[in-house]
Structure 1
Amino acid sequence: MNPRVSFVKYKPHHKLIVTFNNNEIKEFDLCKYLDYPVYEPLKDEAFCSKVTVKNGIVQWDDVIDIDPDIVYIESTPVLTHPFHV
């Protein structure tokens, strides 16, 4: 099992800065998911920016979520502190 999400911050252009429970910080690009019907609401950056974490899972309004394993595997390491990104 991969690490779970402990914190998430929205970054413009549909990117997420994700901190995992093993203290890794990674960037996840949502763009390739936006054409799937379930993720279409995330095209609205105002809605997308309301991202939260619940039980280790990235989600929006308890309606849309992304598997934390996908987020972990498909994200890239952040080389700077997330508050400077």
Structure 2
Amino acid sequence: MYLAIKNVKPLKNYLLLLTFENNEKRIFDMSPLLSKGIFRQLKDIDLFNTVKVSFDTISWDNEADLCPEVLYEQSQPYMNS
């Protein structure tokens, strides 16, 4: 499924709160990626917190990015309590 990202918010423990174009909110856990390639740099919490919407996905100041399909498929529904 291809849904563009319209908002992203960094949370504690390397989690991202994502809002997709259909207004669905989902949580994506970045921690499994923090030992791979360019994503290792995101262990620096200040850099991790630079996450922003870029076109229809997200990116960081170090030019790391993820495709929206991966973000959707590997995230969990956000249960707002």
Shift of 1:80: 0.5
Q: Does residue 55 of structure 1 match 2:55?
A: yes
Structure 2: state its 5+ residue gaps. Answer: none
Q: 1:5 maps to which residue?
A: 5
Q: How many residues align?
A: 81
Q: TM-score, normalised by structure 1?
A: 0.89
Partners of 2:62 and 2:19 lie apart in 1 by 20
Calculate percent identity across the aligned residue pairs: 30
Does the residue aligned with 1:46 lie in a helix, a strand or coil? Answer: helix
RMSD: 1.3
Contact 1:6 1:20 in 2 (8 A): yes
Give the letter for the 1:76 counterpart: Q
Q: Does residue 41 of structure 1 match 2:41?
A: yes
> Where do 4+ consecutive residues of structure 1 move more than 4 Å?
none
Structure 1: state its 5+ residue gaps. Answer: none
Partners of 1:5 and 1:65 lie apart in 2 by 12
